[in-house]
Every structure is written in C-alpha cells, then in structure tokens.
C-alpha cells in the first residue's frame, strides 16, 4: 500500500467505512513502520470501551456464547467488535476459523465487526497483535470489544493481557474443570461460566468450581460462577450483568487504571526487547559462530562469549 493509499484508507476509516477498517487491521497485523503509523493516528481516538476476553477449553461453546453476547449488545444498541483468535491452527488458518466463528447473519449487521486471526505459530506475538487489532476496532467506534480464544497453554495469559475482564467458559463435559485448574485458566478468570447447562452434571460442576474458589486467598473481587445455555440464549443477561459489575469494580478499585498501565508497560517492554534484539543481532550475528567454536572447544564459556559480544555491541552504540 502506498503512503497516499494509507492516508486515504485512514480518512475512509474515520468516516466509518468498514472496508477501510478491514484494511487497517491487516496493516496492523502485518506490523512494521506502516502499522506504527496507523496506531499513531488511531491512539487519540481510543475511547476506553470495555474489553472482554472469552476463553476456555476447546468446544465448550465459546463462539456460541460470543454470538449470544453480540446479539444481547445489539439489542441494547451497542456497536460490537469481535476478535476470534485461533492459536491452534497456524497452518490451516482461514477455513478452520470460518468454521469456528459461526456468526451467520451477524456478519451483515453494520453494527458488528468480526475479525478472525490466526497466530502463525507465534504465541508470544499473540497478545500484542490481538491488542492492536482491538485498538483498531475501538477507534472505529465499537463500544463493546470481545476477544475469543481457546485457552491452551499460554493463550489465556495473552487474552488476559489484551482485555479488562476475562470470562472462562467450561462445560459439564468430563474433565473440563480439571483441565481448567491444571491449565491455569482459573487464575485468569474474573467470571466463570458453566455453559451447556442443559447437559447433565452442570450443578455438580458449579459446586466443584465454587469449592475450588473458596480455597483461594480472599480478594476484593469474588469470582462468580454462572450457568448458561448459550445455544438458547439462557443466562446471557445475567452474564452481561456480571461483566458490568466487574467493570464497576475495576473502575472503583482503581484496578482498571492499574491493568491498563501494566498492559502499556508490557507493550513497551515487548517493543523495546524486539528492537534491541534486532539491533544486537544485526551487529553480532556474524561474530557468533567464531565464539561458538571457542565455547565448543572449551576455551570460553557461553557467559564469557556473551560478555565479550555484549561489550562489543555496547561500545558500538555509544
């Protein structure tokens, strides 16, 4: 995209054209100087709209729940932005995502903007890319921002990093609760949802989760455990009320400002680390093999080698 094209796209974006928003999201996803320019233009337009993360094990009904949440907010006349992140399929991307996000008629609603993202295998970059895509949607005027991602491994930390409130969704299916406890999902939950409450075992599961939560150290926010039948829209109003309540808690306790400050700090650190590493690598890459030889031959340790390399790099940058 040429510079003038980018300016034109930004202009179109600010007058609310969806194609421009889609294009800017791609620019931001691709990174680089153009993405920086775009973010620079968009930051003054950020509104501080609520950012909600929806995560949980595969197949518990996250997308169905997001669909129901979107409908709920549309009924209340709020513009909604959805980012569906799929960290599990770096290779199949598009097609699988298409299946996973079943929004049907919502995709043609002008008040709804849905974007799917594959992560191209880089889990570390997920939080940043996701956060920046949400930034674009927020600047576009979406008043409620929802990020869906499967909670596997590190991804729930990423979604927590990119949002203000995290809803962890489970289903009464065997093992979901145990998986959630093992995978650290309980740690990031501001609200717990047992979806598929039309299936047997939901009540038991709620009790198990509540017992687990009761053993945790006391905190100002007590994590509620809610039940939903996402496929029938049951429990959605209650879930939205809990999300609102959490938001009020965040605002009144000062946690919202804290979270956002921490988020900014993490972002700055990540950018700085990338930049420093790129510079250092560009300067030192050629010298590393010779040092490796000496380390392999027992003449140096990795530490003395790194110290010398670092000294050379720092001397150069003075």
Where does this chain bind Mg ion (CB under 5 A)? Answer: 62-63, 100
Residue 238 backbone phi and psi in degrees, to 5: -65, -40
Nearer to Mg ion, 59 or 175 (CB): 59
Q: For residue 149, with 0-12 CB atoms within 10 Å meaning exposed, 13-18 middle and 19 or more buried, which class applies?
A: buried
Residues ≥6 apart with Cβ < 8 Å to 9? 1, 20, 23, 24, 27
Report if residue 194 touches ligand GTP, rule: CB under 6 A.
no
In sequence order, what are the residues at sequence separation of 6 or more whose Cβ sits closer than 8 angstroms to the Cβ of residue 165? 50, 51, 52, 53, 190, 191, 243, 246, 247, 250
**Closer residue to Mg ion, CB minimum distance, 56 or 172:** 56
Q: Which of 185, 192, 229, 305 binds ligand GTP (CB under 6 A)?
A: 229
Smallest separation (angstroms) from Mg ion to the CB of 85: 10
115 in contact with ligand GTP (CB under 6 A):
no
* Residue among 21, 42, 60, 191 that touches ligand GTP (CB under 6 A): 60
59 contributes a contact to ligand GTP by CB under 6 A? yes
Interface with ligand GTP, residue 227, by CB under 6 A: no
230 interface partner picked from Mg ion, ligand GTP, none, CB below 5 to 8 A per type: ligand GTP
Give the residue among 199, 183, 132, 138 at the shortest CA–CA distance from 161: 132
User: What is the CA angle 226-134-86, rounded to 5?
Assistant: 70
Residue 61 touching ligand GTP (CB under 6 A):
yes
Residue 119 touches ligand GTP, criterion: CB under 6 A: no
Find the part of the chain contacting ligand GTP (CB under 6 A) among 183-191, 196-204, 240-248, 291-299. Answer: 196-204
**Closer CB to ligand GTP, residue 28 or residue 169?**
169
Question: How many residues at the interface with ligand GTP, by CB under 6 A?
Answer: 16
CB of 151 to Mg ion, least distance (A): 11
Question: Hey, what long-range contacts does 125-130 have (CB within 8 A, 24 or more apart)?
Answer: 126/85, 126/87, 126/155, 126/158, 127/157, 127/158, 127/159, 127/161, 127/162, 127/266, 128/267, 128/270, 129/28, 129/29, 129/31, 130/83, 130/85, 130/158, 130/159, 130/162
Indicate the residue among 102 and 182 with the shorter CB distance to ligand GTP.
Answer: 102
| Nearest-approach distance from CB 269 to ligand GTP, in angstroms | 30
- Binding residue for ligand GTP, selected from 89, 116, 154, 231, defined by CB under 6 A: 231
Nearest 10 degrees: Cα torsion 283, 285, 290, 294:
100
Contact residues: ligand GTP, CB under 6 A: 58-64, 100, 150, 195-196, 198-199, 229-231
């Amino acid at each position: 995209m040429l510079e003038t094209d980018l300016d034109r796209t930004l202009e179109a974006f600010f007058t609310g054209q969806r194609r421009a928003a889609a294009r800017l999201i791609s620019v931001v996803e691709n990174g680089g100087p153009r993405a920086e320019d775009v973010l620079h233009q968009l930051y003054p337009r950020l509104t501080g709209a609520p950012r909600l993360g929806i995560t949980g094990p595969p197949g518990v009904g996250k997308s169905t729940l997001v669909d129901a949440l979107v409908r709920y907010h549309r009924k209340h006349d709020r513009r909604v932005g959805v980012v569906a992140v799929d960290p599990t399929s770096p290779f199949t991307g598009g097609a699988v995502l298409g299946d996973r996000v079943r929004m049907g008629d919502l995709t043609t609603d002008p008040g709804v903007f849905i974007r799917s993202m594959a992560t191209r295998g880089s889990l570390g970059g997920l939080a940043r890319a996701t956060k920046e895509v949400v930034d674009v949607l927020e600047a576009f005027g979406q008043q409620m921002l929802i990020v869906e991602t499967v909670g596997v491994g590190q991804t729930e930390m990423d979604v927590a990093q990119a949002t203000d409130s995290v809803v962890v969704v489970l289903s009464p299916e065997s093992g979901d609760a145990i998986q959630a406890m093992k995978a650290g999902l309980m740690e990031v939950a501001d609200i717990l949802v047992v979806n598929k409450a039309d299936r047997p075992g939901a009540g038991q599961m709620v009790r198990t989760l509540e017992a687990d939560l009761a053993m945790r150290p006391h905190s100002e926010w007590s994590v509620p455990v809610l039940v939903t039948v996402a496929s029938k829209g049951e429990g959605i109003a209650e879930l939205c009320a809990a999300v609102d309540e959490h938001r009020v808690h965040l605002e009144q306790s000062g946690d919202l400002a804290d979270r956002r400050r921490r988020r900014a700090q993490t972002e700055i650190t990540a950018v700085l680390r990338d930049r420093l590493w790129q510079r250092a690598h560009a300067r030192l890459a050629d010298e590393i093999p010779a040092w490796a030889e000496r380390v392999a031959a027992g003449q140096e340790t990795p530490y003395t080698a790194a110290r010398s390399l670092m000294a050379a790099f720092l001397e150069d940058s003075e």
